[in-house]
Structure 1
Amino acid sequence: MPEPGVSTVIAVDGPAAAGKTSTCLALAEIFGLRYLESGRTYRIIAFEALRREIPVDNAREVTGLCDDLIRESRSAGLLTSERYAPDKLRATPVNVAVSAVAKIADVRQRVTSLIRLWAKSQAQCVIEGRDIGTTIFPTAPVKFYLTATPEVRAMRRVRQERAGSYENVLEDVIRRDEADMSRAVSPLAAAEDAIRIDTSGLTLDQVVSRMSSACLNRGLEINR
């Protein structure tokens, strides 16, 4: 499937709790961009699979569920649906189930199509995920790969979500990394031309400053 002709896509990839959401929201504010969190769609599908008691490792049933949700939300509306509270989508059962959902090839194909459809209607946008710069928009003019040590990311998640012990969260972070990096379809990896930033010892402002400078150097204009 060809990449849609959007003016500008900033692709931001990286593992869980590397700082993608905070930095993307900041960039969206600075440059006047529309923002999309691609992983939220997989969480919605995982949440609904659990709610409807559909086995998340049953590719056929989960794909059918995905199709139902797309129809119910009128295509790309599933990406931006506000029906689901953030705390519900980040509950422990969903954290565990989302890896199984995200590795289903037919589900990823459908979500990829939705993301491209959404981006096609935007003049400029920033999209975060795990395969945005490698698979979904491989020719994006600006790509970032944010990372941090598992320990730092676990501590951030404990502070942000205020749920679970540090040890359990760290175990979940490491498990999710392994699942994302080892899946057969669109594994988590940095694009060869991505700007890599280790956020472990940096403040949000420092990370956003580096990303903003890179965007300006690549010709992105502030549009507010």
Structure 2
Amino acid sequence: MSGDSGKTVVIAVDGPAAAGKTTTCLALADTFDLRYLESGRTYRIVAYEAIRRGVPVDDRSAVVGLCDRLIDESRTGNLFTSSRYRPQELRSNPVDLAVSAVARIGELRGRVTELIHQWARVQARCVVEGRDIGTVVFPTAPAKFYLTAKPEIRAERRVRQEGHGSYEEVLKDVIRRDQADMSRPVAPLVPAEDAVEIDTTELSVAQVVGRMVSVCRDRGVANP
């Protein structure tokens, strides 16, 4: 199945943690009147529930079964729109440590990809951020971006954003997550071949967004 067929318009934004994905995606959503989705939210929900329910995150079948139960428990069949989870719960240190193990499970990623496709078909025009959106989830998206920045800069941003943890601890976690995401056998974090790569280390938000908007327009993304 092609996730971006028909009239669905998708902008795909990938990259490691704290590279600027959320900020720029929200700006693109505002510029082009798009719905926004953070794909990693579902992986975090599954990791959070695994911890809460005592499901070992290294037990692949148990985690997949948990995901299926969570989908069944969601009346809409889509965990992305659930309001049951607070951001501070999903961004806690235990979830940060568990989510990489959860995201390595191929069967689970397949289920999350289908949820994203379902959501996108309903929205029709959207911008989706993640780590495999342009490579796996929407491989023919008209506009793809890969944002990155030096780990030290990303750690500084994460400390400012979340307001907890020392810089040294956050930097170690950023590097650990990068290694886990880039080395996993299923849908590793890599730029799509046709993605526009932007290093945000020394760029302002306005500079990054300006370049992304220009690329989107060049590739046929317009206001409705």
Q: In 2, are the aligned partners of 1:76 and 1:115 still within 8 Å (CA)? A: no
Q: Which residue of 1 aligns with 2:115?
A: 114
Q: In 1, are the aligned partners of 2:47 and 2:102 still within 8 Å (CA)? A: yes
Normalising by structure 2, we get a TM-score of 0.97
Give unmatched runs, 5+ long, in structure 2: none
Deviating runs (4+, > 3 A) in structure 1? none
Give unmatched runs, 5+ long, in structure 1: none
Q: In 2, are the aligned partners of 1:13 and 1:190 still within 8 Å (CA)? A: yes
| Counterpart Cα distance in 2 of 1:120 and 1:207 | 28
| Counterpart Cα distance in 2 of 1:75 and 1:58 | 27
| Counterpart Cα distance in 2 of 1:131 and 1:184 | 12
Percent sequence identity over aligned pairs = 65
**Once the 2 structures are TM-superposed, how far is the Cα of residue 76 of structure 1 from its aligned partner?**
4.3
Deviations 1:118-177 (A, max 9, x none): 111222100000000000110100000000000000000000001100000000000000
Code of the residue aligned with 2:146 in structure 1: it is Y
Q: In 2, are the aligned partners of 1:76 and 1:117 still within 8 Å (CA)? A: no
| Counterpart Cα distance in 2 of 1:7 and 1:183 | 29
Q: 1:15 to 1:219 in 2, by over 3 A?
A: same
Q: Which residue of 2 aligns with 1:211?
A: 212
Q: In 2, are the aligned partners of 1:8 and 1:140 still within 8 Å (CA)? A: yes
**Once the 2 structures are TM-superposed, how far is the Cα of residue 215 of structure 1 from its aligned partner?**
0.8
Please give the root-mean-square deviation of Cα atoms over the aligned residues, in Å: 1.0
| Counterpart Cα distance in 2 of 1:124 and 1:76 | 20
**Once the 2 structures are TM-superposed, how far is the Cα of residue 2 of structure 1 from its aligned partner?**
3.2
Normalising by structure 1, we get a TM-score of 0.97
Q: In 1, are the aligned partners of 2:4 and 2:140 still within 8 Å (CA)? A: no
| Counterpart Cα distance in 2 of 1:29 and 1:2 | 26
Code of the residue aligned with 1:175 in structure 2: it is R
Q: Which residue of 1 aligns with 2:96?
A: 95
Q: In 2, are the aligned partners of 1:75 and 1:114 still within 8 Å (CA)? A: no
